[in-house]
Structures are given as C-alpha cells and as structure tokens.
Amino acid sequence: MAVPKKRTSKTRQLKRRSQIFLEPPPLTSCQNCGREILPHRICPFCGYYKGRIIVDFLEKLSKKERKKEKKESEVKNP
C-alpha cells in the first residue's frame, strides 16, 4: 500500500480545499415569458422552446387557472 512520505500541512490542505465549491447554474431568460430558465431546455413555466409551444400547459389547466396565467403573461410582456 502506498504511504505518504510527508504529512500535508494545514496551509496546503486549505489551499486544495479552497477550490472545492459549487457554482450556480448558467441561467438564461425565456424568449416567451422572460423568466430565468436553464439553457437548451423547455421553459417549465410556459412550455415554450425557441419561440414555439412544445408543451401546452395552459390546455391542461382549468378554465379559471388558464385565465389567470394569460393575464400574468400579458403583464410581463405587453
């Protein structure tokens, strides 16, 4: 079994661990509703991708919810 020749100093250990951290995901804004989304993915809020409807969330909602969503999106991009 390999055995370390010298012990790792605190400074060296901390320097190494200073590079261990998570980065926030690179977000872009949706072309349709303008909310922040992950790139190359369908917008989870409006179902659009590259300016086309891919998943029609509004169709699945009830009439009342649909009206509310429509109003919200109109407020965001008139």
- Quick check: 57 binds Zn ion (CB under 5 A)? no
CA–CA gap between residue 69 and residue 71 (Å, rounded)? 5
Of the pair 52, 67, the CB lying nearest Zn ion is at 52
> What number of CA atoms fall less than 13 Å from residue 51's CA on the CB side?
0
Residues 15-54 that bind Zn ion (CB under 5 A): 30, 32-33, 43, 45-46
Q: How far is the CB of 33 from Zn ion (least distance, A)?
A: 3
Of the pair 4, 39, the CB lying nearest Zn ion is at 39
CA–CA gap between residue 28 and residue 42 (Å, rounded)? 12
Q: How many residues bind Zn ion (CB under 5 A)?
A: 6
Q: How far is the CB of 40 from Zn ion (least distance, A)?
A: 14
Identify whether the C-beta of residue 37 lies closer than 8 Å to the C-beta of residue 43.
yes
- CA dihedral over 74, 52, 29, 43, signed as positive or negative: positive
| Contact residues: Zn ion, CB under 5 A | 30, 32-33, 43, 45-46
